[in-house]
């Protein structure tokens, strides 16, 4: 289908509108510690947000981002208790339907914050289309033995397709960004699996986290039609870095058991001022990618967003990783050889500093471990903003 | 003196030339570990650099930048042995005359490297003036009990004045940037001082490093006529953050006993293509300060230096610090409350990532601990580049 | 009163029994992560423990033990939700009456665990006396500006006296060990206090934690009659290390606002097999102190407890600290100069390894920061065990 | 051969004495930083030690013990410069013949120190035999692609046999302890190997260090006749933990290129008061192994060595490791899941604390990474002491 034909098709879909219109709002809120949900509580108190319209949360908590980062679990527990109390529901049930995608580690200038995605009905007279659309889904719980294997790739792909359906997006081309939160193998889970006669893909928890991220990226690529459903590609996890998806952001953590999906795109069935753009980053110094993604949203960084444009930004998401070749643009870097500070913490701090410098704001979801999520040694940058 | 009068005066000085003309060259070299001086050895081997014309080294080594960072001592020992062997001199003597200013910590995208300053005679027919000038000096060894006190401020100021004389710069206004490397109080030195009946300013080694940096900044300000010689200002060290010098960069380390000075400025008695500019950074997100300092040197970052301009940069120096108010532009950051990663490592990674993003190069001397060196919570950025 | 007279007095009190008899049980439980209360839930499910008889919890969680250790808050929230649900009470109310004293940091061989103290009525025909007794109390919330000052010393002392009354212990000599959990000053609290025109004792969060621990130790000493109520002694906090209390263990954390007290001793009004002993440790190598405290309980480590004796141990509590003189028995140690690993993590790992080696068990509450809690550079070791 | 026959054989060898008699001395010296060799310099100055009789150095420096620990290289350079200057030799040549086995990481109560092994002629009338004997050897430089493979096992075994010959020990049963220092794969070396078309066994530097240690242990076992020369066993490296050698201690570091061997045993051709004993440690709590090894040397720890016995100890060497099953004696430990502190640093601190507690001294060479060096999850402890 040519670009022109696609445009006509979009317009026709806009006019069609058999589906009820929806609107997505994003509230970017501060927290004073990982158990502090007071900012969301205040929005619920005033009625600006309805608890049952909260469909996803993406946030950064101030842990180390590694296997023993419990700030994610603490925040999640606090969130589920808050929403459960407001909705009169059991927090344990909410946990299985509300994606809460957290990345630990607010290194450098990054600020602990969380973005609350609120989905509500839009009035039929709301102007303009297509607008930012959002869908979500959970895979079934992933057995420890499946993590980092083709079975997980499949599980993620299935969940991404469910999330597209949930968002009312038919065409993979309309998907802008898919956030996945996947499980990992801790020492305890590995022992349990072995006791059950199963083999985990790696005993090293940090490696299992990397493999889980890789499988998540492959899963998104599979669902979006960018990759063949070929189990032989399992061997490409963490080895074939020429295989990457520019629309997948994956993080992992001990606190989740399934693959959780938050899918964002544009749809004629949605209304509101929000739009999103996403660009691959070639390496950890790819500042031009940041200005490019802003330009696509009509935001001008020269060299930094001014105050007005800064307030139009609703959320910023970045994936990055320490280049496994030990160099950035030909000069040696030391992240991978550092026994004191995990390499992911290094890279989050650095790329976080760069993106925050362009945006003039440290409230960025910067997640390390960009294996197969953007070019090797690079990653991607995505921004949600109000249309000008 | 008006700007016009100053210009005439400069031109007259250029014509005068009673002093022998000198030229400064800066070689920015890679190292594969802190004891690797092979790049300098190669320059010495080919005769491109003469050992006795090396007047200072400023570099970043891959330690933690803290009290127990021995990469600085290791590099220094290696450097002195190399130059000593080439010059037939005792390395221990060289140590007392050759400033070797190292900052540990190549967090994130920062690359271990060292800039070798080479001072040689310039031919009388070399074009243009004034050019980049350089002078150096050492204070006498600083007793542990003097560190972080007005006595150290005085010692630094005296050494800065000596370095101005060494550079042939009379007017403090012609000084662009003064790099100081100062000593600090380790647990061992504190114990020794106490045994000798003396009082050290702080038992906490990290605090003693901060106080030493503060005293260094005050010392530069004093020598450059920006601060009064008032011992009562000692109480302002680490408290009066409205007092700062935009031309002082100070780092500290266990491996030095005295205050070492490398002073850079412009002088009509010097030749060559190198120029320098320096700008204060208002905070850790002050990306515009970086583009501004480049613009003053005729380099255009839009949003990043292109390849040609990148190769004109000879050295970049940055001071930065975690804002002690725990916020950056109104959003909370977590550096100061992190028990796992020292706050200086956080901020070096973040500001290093930002500046490297603009320059497209991670070979930047980013030094934490910018107390009184630029605005509170900010710092400064300085670049040496070939004139267009 | 001579030892003989004291004994007679004790026996008379045993016979008196006007107060209802009580019994203390201690359950030492494992956790698989800081939000895992499943072991306690199982005890509640089977009825072995009644939720309303849980009077205190002392535990070690697997955080870093520093200002940004949120495992303590996470565990506390999980505990209060569990007990609140079982008792039909608001978790927020429980928080104000149930001491939950957590120390973060399970370095080395230390194992994450928690000891649940359960207080119930004892039948009048229970044998022997005096047995282990326990009382608890909370001070009012401590303002940030009071932390590390004589006001906090007073607040702790008052709370200790309340806890003695709660335990039914009149004579301070019968108190064996007082555990205090105190608040500290984070960057955020410091900013808030300053905004309110108040002065905090230190901006450095780690220093504020140390001062809070020091004030806690002084408070216990004051209440137990070991120290005079002299505000001039405030200057002795973290300076007069000759002032120490061998019965105080204090830890601090961002997650508490008040001083929480768990007091343990022996009383004729209590029944059951549990006894406690506590010994000061002279330094971090004082292994003989561990065997001594075991010997006082009839447990023989030769060189390690055998299986039978190991199972009689109900809880072990240790305070320790990096010697601020930078030496242990005349040889230099490097903890205090380490920028990568906090000194408290170093010492917990080392002393934890030593005590675990004697007990043959890593489930020890080892808490760093033993300022004024035992001799300088040492600390104390306390064990609760069943009488032989 | 029965024990009685062995004894007779030893006595006959003692009487034989065709080989010139030698004596080993061990000087355990403090350092104030990794470049501080002043204690050895003083021994050389006074003539107590002759530079050309220094045959090996084993020490602990205060780095992190990981890939980016440059304290080992710094110390080595300082040592070689010192001895080179005293002997009028090139330090670069000494590096290839003098084993300098350093382990980084003085966690907890461990003290930075180095043991200098001095080998000299013994007078024929020196009493008693057999005494402590020592031999040394270097393998050829190990290519990065060989590290962690059977080729490295062979290289180590060959070097161990050379060291036995150097010590004058014919019978492997007389070997007490073999210290190996092996190379590892850094990011840079891995890149170089790949550029040369070679495959390294792992890109992860920490894993390559583990594999190099494993190969070292297998190499010692091979040379001592405890293991078959079966290349299929290469697959057992880091997997078959039932294969272990109780007389091998291996550490690795970026600063060495070859496998360096220091072999210790007993021989009738040697004189002097020094003896050695070595015991496997079953796990990280195996305190009885420490008292047992002391007992074999006639030293009594009850529970700690007294002052007199403490001064008879000349050196203590310990290997230990975080149990990869995530438990110690059935209770969960968190070392392996800690993203902030490397697991080796955890275990060194803990086991160092335990052994130091028994010896009453923190000057212990505690080296992490005990793969195949003692039982899984345990390690070994070796002590050199003067015979009573």
Whether the upstream peptide bond of residue C254 has omega within 30° of 0, thus cis, is no
DSSP single-letter state for residue A5: H
pLDDT score, position C147: 95
Q: How far is CA C251 from CA C115, C116, C215, D340, in A?
A: 16, 18, 11, 22
Count Cα neighbours of D259 within 13 Å in the Cβ-side half-sphere: 37
DSSP single-letter state for residue A143: P
Partner residue opposite C73 with nearest CB, options A35, A68, A340: A35
Residue D1's pLDDT band (boundaries 50, 70, 90)? very low
D325/A68 touch (CB, cutoff 8 Å), yes or no: no
What mean pLDDT is reported for chain D?
Answer: 93
What mean pLDDT is reported for chain C?
Answer: 93
Instruction: Please give the average per-residue pLDDT across D121-126, as a whole number.
Output: 82
**What's the topology of domain A18-121?**
60s Ribosomal Protein L30; Chain: A; (3.30.1330)
CATH superfamily of C17-121: Cyanuric acid hydrolase/Barbiturase, RU A (3.30.1330.170)
Residue spans of chain A under pLDDT 70: 1-19, 128
pLDDT score, position A286: 98
Nearest Cα neighbor of A132 from A28, A276, A21 is A276
Q: Which residue of D has its CA nearest to B73?
A: D35
- Which tokens go with D109? 């109560």
Instruction: Please give the average per-residue pLDDT across C175-180, as a whole number.
Output: 98
- Class of B274-386 in CATH: alpha beta
Between vectors from CA A204 to CA A177 and to CA D379, what angle results, nearest 5°? 165
pLDDT score, position C10: 55
- Which tokens go with C119? 């207080």
**What's the topology of domain C273-386?**
60s Ribosomal Protein L30; Chain: A; (3.30.1330)
Q: How many residues does chain D have?
A: 388
What CATH number matches the domain at D14-121, 3.30.1330.170, 2.60.120.380, 3.10.310.30, 3.10.129.10? 3.30.1330.170
Beta pairing partners, A315: A384
A339/D187 touch (CB, cutoff 8 Å), yes or no: no
For CATH 3.30.1330.160, list the domain ranges present in chain C.
273-386
Considering only A5-9, B210-214, D86-90, D340-344, which range has the smallest mean pLDDT?
Answer: A5-9
Residue spans of chain B under pLDDT 50: 1, 3, 7-8, 11, 14-17
Q: How many residues does chain B have?
A: 388
| Secondary structure in 3-state letters for D181-241 | EECCCCHHHHHHHHHCCCCCCCCCHHHHHHHHHHHHHHHHHHHCCCCCCCHHHHHHCCCCC
- Which tokens go with D386? 């003067």
A73/C74 touch (CB, cutoff 8 Å), yes or no: yes
A77/C73 touch (CB, cutoff 8 Å), yes or no: no
pLDDT score, position A10: 54
Which residues of B have a CB under 8 Å from any CB of C?
64-69, 186-188, 190-191, 203-207, 324-327, 332, 334, 336-340, 342, 345
Between these two residues, D131 and B256, which has the higher pLDDT value?
D131
Contact B37/B102 with Cβ under 8 angstroms? no
Residue C17's pLDDT band (boundaries 50, 70, 90)? very low
Contact A276/A177 with Cβ under 8 angstroms? yes
Is pLDDT above 90 for C2?
no
Nearest Cα neighbor of A22 from A272, A276, A387 is A272
Contact B321/B347 with Cβ under 8 angstroms? yes
The pLDDT tens digits for D207-216 are 888 999 999 9
Contact D181/D190 with Cβ under 8 angstroms? no
pLDDT score, position A254: 77
Q: Are strands C131-138 and C260-267 parallel, antiparallel or unpaired?
A: antiparallel
The pLDDT tens digits for B83-136 are 999 999 999 999 999 999 999 999 999 999 999 999 999 977 777 678 999 999
**Residue D327 marked ligand-binding:** no
- Which tokens go with C222? 């004051």
- Which tokens go with B269? 């008695």
For CATH 3.30.1330.170, list the domain ranges present in chain C.
17-121
Closest approach of C71 to chain A, Cα-based (Å) = 7
- Per the annotation, the verdict on B202 as an active-site residue is no
> Rounded to an integer, what distance in angstroms lies between the CA atom of residue C125 and that of residue C118?
20
pLDDT score, position A7: 47
Closest approach of D191 to chain C, Cα-based (Å) = 28
C285/D352 touch (CB, cutoff 8 Å), yes or no: no
Q: Which residue of A has its CA nearest to D332?
A: A188
Q: Where is the binding site for Mg(2+), in residues of A? A: 321, 370, 373-375, 378
Query: Which residues of chain D are within 8 Å of residue B340 when distances are taken between CB atoms?
Result: 340
Partner residue opposite B74 with nearest CB, options D74, D188, D254: D74
Buried b (16+ CB within 10 A) or exposed e, D274-301: bbbbbbbbbbbbbbbbbbbbbeebebeb
Q: Which residue of D has its CA nearest to C286?
A: D357
The secondary structure element, H or E, covering residue A158 is helix A150-167
Q: Where is the binding site for substrate, in residues of A? A: 72, 103-104, 213, 348, 367-368
Nearest Cα neighbor of A318 from A379, A277, A227 is A379
Q: How many residues does chain C have?
A: 388
The pLDDT tens digits for B122-132 are 977 777 678 99
Q: How far is CA C59 from CA A354, C258, C309, in A?
A: 41, 18, 22
> Rounded to an integer, what distance in angstroms lies between the CA atom of residue D357 and that of residue B262?
49
Q: How far is CA B327 from CA A33, B331, B369, C95, in A?
A: 14, 5, 16, 30
Contact D311/D320 with Cβ under 8 angstroms? no
Nearest Cα neighbor of D178 from D164, D199, D188 is D164
What CATH number matches the domain at D131-263, 3.30.1330.180, 2.30.42.10, 3.30.413.10, 1.10.287.110? 3.30.1330.180
- Which residues, in sequence order, are CB contacts of D53 under 8 Å at separation 6+? D118, D119, D120
Partner residue opposite C288 with nearest CB, options D304, D331, D351: D304
3-state DSSP call for residue A352?
A: helix
- Which residues, in sequence order, are CB contacts of B286 under 8 Å at separation 6+? A357, B378
Residue C25's pLDDT band (boundaries 50, 70, 90)? very high
Is pLDDT above 70 for C172?
yes
For CATH 3.30.1330.180, list the domain ranges present in chain D.
131-263
pTM score, two decimals?
A: 0.93
DSSP single-letter state for residue B379: E
Partner residue opposite C332 with nearest CB, options D30, D291, D360: D30
**Residue D375 marked ligand-binding:** yes
Query: Which residues of chain C are within 8 Å of residue A338 when distances are taken between CB atoms?
Result: none
Query: Which residues of chain C are within 8 Å of residue B348 when distances are taken between CB atoms?
Result: none
Chains that touch B (3 or more CB pairs under 8 A): A, C, D
pLDDT score, position C353: 98
The pLDDT tens digits for C302-347 are 999 999 999 999 999 999 999 988 999 999 999 998 999 999 999 9
The pLDDT tens digits for D177-225 are 999 999 988 778 888 898 999 999 987 777 888 999 999 999 999 999 9
Instruction: Please give the average per-residue pLDDT across C279-288, as a whole number.
Output: 98
3-state DSSP call for residue A230?
A: coil
- Which residues, in sequence order, are CB contacts of A307 under 8 Å at separation 6+? none
Is pLDDT above 70 for C52?
yes
Nearest Cα neighbor of B186 from B199, B205, B202, B172 is B205
**Residue D48 marked ligand-binding:** no
pLDDT score, position D128: 66
The pLDDT tens digits for B188-201 are 888 889 899 999 99
């Amino acid at each position: 289908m040519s670009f022109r034909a696609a445009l006509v098709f979009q317009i026709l879909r806009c006019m069609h509108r058999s589906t009820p219109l929806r609107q997505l709002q994003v509230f970017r809120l501060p927290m004073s510690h990982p158990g502090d949900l007071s900012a969301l509580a205040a929005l619920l108190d005033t009625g600006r947000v309805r608890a049952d319209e909260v469909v996803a949360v993406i946030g950064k908590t101030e842990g180390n981002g590694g296997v023993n980062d419990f700030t994610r679990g603490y925040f999640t527990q606090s969130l589920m208790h808050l929403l459960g109390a407001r909705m009169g529901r059991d927090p344990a049930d909410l946990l299985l339907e509300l994606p809460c995608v957290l990345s630990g580690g607010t290194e450098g200038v990054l600020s602990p914050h969380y973005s609350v995605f609120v989905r509500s009905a839009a009035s039929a007279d709301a102007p303009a289309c297509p607008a930012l659309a959002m869908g979500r889904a959970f895979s079934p719980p992933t057995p420890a033995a499946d993590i980092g294997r083709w079975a997980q790739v499949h599980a993620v792909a299935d969940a991404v397709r469910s999330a597209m359906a949930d968002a009312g997006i038919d065409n993979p081309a309309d998907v802008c960004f898919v956030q996945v939160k996947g499980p990992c193998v801790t020492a305890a889970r590995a022992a349990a699996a072995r006791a059950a006669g199963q083999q985990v893909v790696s005993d090293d928890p940090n490696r299992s986290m990397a493999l889980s991220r890789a499988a998540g990226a492959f899963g998104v690529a599979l669902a979006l039609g960018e990759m063949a459903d070929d189990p032989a590609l399992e061997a490409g996890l963490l080895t074939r870095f020429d295989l990457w998806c520019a629309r997948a952001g994956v993080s992992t953590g001990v606190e989740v058991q399934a693959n959780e999906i938050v899918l964002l795109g544009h749809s004629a069935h949605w209304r509101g001022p929000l739009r999103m753009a996403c660009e691959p980053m070639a390496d950890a110094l790819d500042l031009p990618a940041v200005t490019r993604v802003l330009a696509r949203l009509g935001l001008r960084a020269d060299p930094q967003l001014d105050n007005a444009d800064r307030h139009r930004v609703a959320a910023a998401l970045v994936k990055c990783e320490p280049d496994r070749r030990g160099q950035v643009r030909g000069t040696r870097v030391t992240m991978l050889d550092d026994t004191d500070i995990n390499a992911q913490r290094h890279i989050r701090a650095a790329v976080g500093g760069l993106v925050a410098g362009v945006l003039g704001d440290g409230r960025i979801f910067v997640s390390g471990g960009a294996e197969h999520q953007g070019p090797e040694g690079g990653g991607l940058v995505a921004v949600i903003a109000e249309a000008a």
